Homo-oligomer: A and B are copies of this chain.
């Protein structure tokens, strides 16, 4: 008996749509029905029971749709619940007229109100559901994907992004340590979300949470079992230069009490729908602080990171081989490159081509200095617009790290070869320099680097 008018309406739609919930298309009649529902939703009327019921049903309908159906659904919201241009025009005229007078401030608010769309009202109603925030984050992921082919979704995307940015304000994020004592429900998400070095099994996971490992994640209070970003850390005795050794499940357990170095060997963003929502430039600083508090013997904090776009950048950058390989280096490669003719620097690309060089120690050794210089140039000079070319570099430099050391033959997996000729890089987080590095990088674009790397990138 507690059911209201709105609730009864919803059930009608459900009967109608519900017959083919898994279908990916909406018939014209269904679309009309849906439009009616969205209209009610945007009006915001009714009690909370109806509101939740309506939101739950719409969410269920949405989940049952394929890409085409979702596009229709989202486009309906995007284009039919937009601000009224006439109202905006009138409010704007008032606003411009009021500039300088006392009523400017009210007019400004009125213009902003006129521009406030009813789209958001629809979207935020999903927040009343128990996992509503997660639903909206996933819906945003759809939007990002679908709007490539449908520009009419862009405005909706920007509004939702602004809403999520407010909700995921960095002041609300909580750092939590994850361990083998964490809920299995949470741990299986790590297995699912790990984006850098796949977690192959629960044993592999347990190994990554052992006493010589640490794992941290950031959470939002409204998405309790959903890590937003997580970092895997190995406690070792010295700067690690090879990731396969770190991931070896059979490697002996290190004594974490003696470790002096913390290596961040995997960092994964988990929510595609939060693209563009900044988590601040402080994440790793907080991890470093917590590590130091709990293991005061740790003195070095560094990553072991991939260079995901190095190879594709090198392959399209003219003259890069001449810069990276000095004549002496070319000559030395030539001496060991059986079966390849190496007359000038550009021939190096051929030698590197099919990755067989890795199997020849002497050749690999001859290639090392030039590859290191290549990577240093890539990190110090390559730009995409005004920003660092490499996305991983962007993240760490923006978080206050410096480029510390380039490691050849650090990841000879197929992926490692394809991305960066097997090279990896250590970014160093020196606690006292983090803030200064952040400011120099964000204000002036200065890339902090060790002397060795600076030299390799310059000479």
Q: Chain A: residues with CB nearer than 8 A to chain B?
A: 1-7, 45-50, 78-79, 82-83, 85, 88-89, 92, 95-96, 99, 102-106, 108-109, 111-113, 115, 124, 127-129, 132-133, 151-156, 158-159, 163, 166-167, 169-172, 180-185, 187-188, 202, 206, 221-222, 225, 280-282, 285, 400, 431-436, 438-439, 442-443
CA distance A442 to B7 in the complex (A): 15
Q: Which residues of B contact A187 (CB under 8 A)?
A: 184
CA distance A36 to B171 in the complex (A): 24
Q: Which residues of B contact A183 (CB under 8 A)?
A: 180-184
Choice from B47, B88, B206 contacting A435 with Cβ under 8 Å: B47
Q: Which residues of B contact A434 (CB under 8 A)?
A: 2, 47, 49
CB closest residue in chain B, given A203: B202
Supposing A171-B129, A221-B221 touch, asked if A155 and B108 sit within 8 A by C-beta, the answer is yes
Nearest chain B CB to A398 CB, angstrom units: 9
- A2 and B124 contacting across the interface, CB-CB below 8 Å: no
CA distance A184 to B182 in the complex (A): 6
Supposing A106-B151, A151-B102 touch, asked if A172 and B47 sit within 8 A by C-beta, the answer is no
- B281 and A48 contacting across the interface, CB-CB below 8 Å: yes
- B106 and A45 contacting across the interface, CB-CB below 8 Å: no
CA distance A226 to B82 in the complex (A): 37
Choice from B5, B96, B124 contacting A85 with Cβ under 8 Å: B96
Determine the main DSSP class of A at the interface with B: helix
- A152 and B102 contacting across the interface, CB-CB below 8 Å: yes
Q: Which residues of B contact A152 (CB under 8 A)?
A: 102, 104-105
CA distance A172 to B282 in the complex (A): 25
- 26 residue pairs of the A-B complex, CB under 8 angstroms, read A1-B432, A4-B435, A7-B435, A45-B442, A45-B443, A46-B443, A47-B400, A47-B442, A49-B434, A105-B153, A106-B155, A109-B155, A109-B158, A112-B158, A124-B171, A127-B170, A127-B171, A129-B171, A132-B171, A166-B166, A167-B167, A181-B183, A183-B184, A184-B206, A202-B202, A221-B222
CA distance A79 to B99 in the complex (A): 11
Q: Which residues of B contact A285 (CB under 8 A)?
A: 48-49
CA distance A319 to B389 in the complex (A): 79
Q: How many copies does the complex hold?
A: 4
Since A112-B115, A112-B158, A127-B172 are in contact, a sample of 14 more A-B pairs with Cβ atoms closer than 8 Å, ordered by chain A residue number, is A3-B436, A4-B438, A5-B443, A46-B442, A47-B439, A48-B435, A48-B438, A85-B95, A89-B96, A109-B159, A127-B171, A163-B166, A183-B184, A188-B206
Of listed A46, A48, A202, A431, residue having the most chain B CB within 10 A:
A48
CA distance A127 to B438 in the complex (A): 20
Q: Which residues of B contact A79 (CB under 8 A)?
A: 105
CB closest residue in chain B, given A91: B92
- A48 and B280 contacting across the interface, CB-CB below 8 Å: yes
Choice from B108, B185, B432, B436 contacting A82 with Cβ under 8 Å: B108
Choice from B180, B221, B222, B282 contacting A184 with Cβ under 8 Å: B180
Q: Which residues of B contact A95 (CB under 8 A)?
A: 85, 88
Choice from B82, B96, B171 contacting A133 with Cβ under 8 Å: B171
- A4 and B439 contacting across the interface, CB-CB below 8 Å: yes
- B105 and A436 contacting across the interface, CB-CB below 8 Å: no
CA distance A323 to B435 in the complex (A): 67
CB closest residue in chain B, given A7: B435
CB closest residue in chain B, given A170: B128
CA distance A50 to B102 in the complex (A): 36
Q: Which residues of B contact A172 (CB under 8 A)?
A: 127, 221-222
Q: Which residues of B contact A442 (CB under 8 A)?
A: 45-47
- B50 and A106 contacting across the interface, CB-CB below 8 Å: no
- B222 and A171 contacting across the interface, CB-CB below 8 Å: yes
Nearest chain B CB to A164 CB, angstrom units: 10
Nearest chain B CB to A402 CB, angstrom units: 14
Q: Which residues of B contact A438 (CB under 8 A)?
A: 4, 46-48
- B439 and A5 contacting across the interface, CB-CB below 8 Å: yes
CA distance A133 to B133 in the complex (A): 20
Q: Name the 9 nearest CB pairs between A and B, nearest first.
A: A47-B438, A127-B171, A221-B221, A48-B282, A105-B155, A1-B432, A109-B158, A4-B439, A2-B435
CA distance A133 to B124 in the complex (A): 20
CA distance A434 to B3 in the complex (A): 9
